[in-house]
Amino acid sequence: MDVTALGEILIDFSPAGSSPQGNRLLEQNAGGAPANVLAALSRFGRKTALIGKVGEDEFGHYLRSVLVDNGIDASGLMMIPEASTTLAFVHLGENGERSFSFVQNPGADQLLSAKDIKEVGDLLIGQSSVFHFGSLSLTHEPARSATWAALKCARGHGIKVSYDPNLREALWPGLEEAKRLILEGMRFADIVKLSVEELEFLTGTSNLEQGSRQLAEEYGLSVVLVTLGAEGSFCRRGGDTCLVEGITVKAVDTTGAGDAFLGGWLHAYLEANKPETELSLDELRNMLRFANITGALTTTRKGAIPALPALETVLELYKET
């Protein structure tokens, strides 16, 4: 297995025009940051698996079928009757920037437990090259304990850990608790991807050099990636840093762009097949460029997983830029 991820897979309801009566229409798409990252990797031919929970409902069955259709191992996806699949409503601004509102009280994904990890941990996590997680599984128990258990399993097997803080303020009881627990997750990570807004939230500065150094030194991170939207992305590896400009596209929906970026970067990292410390600055720049293109192309279509580009499309644009 190349990458196993833990966390939410949910329904994104995205704007899809208006009805003849003038009412807003919403389109159902599969979403959830960990699932989006895996779908991007699977689109590039990587072997992936998801550990999580959905409701024993129509949405849950749909999400399982999406995983299977996208070549993602769904053996770690549990369906439960006691909670519904989480729903997210996507709101798009004029430039394609999105915001979210969620329906979960609780959502099935929040009920993943440490016991569940014992049953699938060694089978999926222990056989992977990279384990990936995000902060949304830290917002509530028992999923929080499940996340810690999975991270300890990954560490015990000596597996690289990828982490996306992915701050969603509405899902946390309070921002102080959000910051504390998100930073606690850093202690298990090797590779961290965050937005410049998340960098400022966690470090108090939007200065890329200063903020990334603070996180890398305090938590022993080997790679810090910062996405800058249309402006591109930044990478810190030890004392080395690089900044790569983004490409110009006509964005219609930025949902999942950061996840696509990370999927692209992890694919390039696995393709390099060497420790982070041995990557040259040119290799790091090329990895950022590949990831930038993957993220940018995802914004040109609506939805997250449905908008992910094929490897051939990314490589064609990579050769041209």
Question: Three-state DSSP class for 293?
Answer: helix
Candidates 12, 190, 253, 259; catalytic one: 259
Catalytic, 253? Answer no
Whole-angstrom distance, CA of residue 40 vs CA of residue 128: 17
Number of neighbouring beta carbons within 10 Å of residue 4: 31
Contacts of 122 (CB under 8 A, 6+ apart): 153, 157
Whole-angstrom distance, CA of residue 227 vs CA of residue 152: 27
Whole-angstrom distance, CA of residue 283 vs CA of residue 233: 14
Q: Which two tokens stand for residue 318?
A: 């990579």
Alpha carbons within 13 angstroms on the beta-carbon side of residue 301 total 12
Q: Which helix (H) or strand (E) holds 69?
A: helix 58-69
Whole-angstrom distance, CA of residue 10 vs CA of residue 169: 17
Q: Which two tokens stand for residue 118?
A: 């014992």
Whole-angstrom distance, CA of residue 297 vs CA of residue 118: 38
Whole-angstrom distance, CA of residue 256 vs CA of residue 298: 7
Catalytic center residues: 259
